Amino acid sequence: MKIVRRIGVPPSARGSTSGANCPDVFELSDGNFAVIGTEATETLDGELPSDASRADYERIVVITRETLIRAKADIPDA
């Protein structure tokens, strides 16, 4: 599995002066997506709706609204 491309704009285009430690979204060679975000599993796990769950190996991460909105145009419809 490899990163194929960034989805959205780079952190520098979202106001990061260093481009480091910023949320990001990437498309992977297997068609899945990888997200860099702030780990928030402990904080949000109890807030999940009753019809949502996560496996022990999964984590809840938070990305900024702007990161996802700026990625929207690059997310394939199918």
pLDDT in tens, the chain (78 residues): 999 999 988 777 777 766 566 888 999 999 999 999 999 999 999 999 999 999 999 999 999 898 899 898 888 887
Phi and psi angles of residue 67, each rounded to the nearest 5 degrees, phi first: -60, -50
- Torsional sign, CA 5, 7, 9, 15: negative
Residue 21's pLDDT is 63
Predicted TM-score of the model (pTM): 0.79
Tokens of 62: 């938070």
Residue 78's pLDDT is 75
Instruction: Please say whether the beta carbons of 60 and 40 come within 8 A.
Output: yes
Residue 2's pLDDT is 98
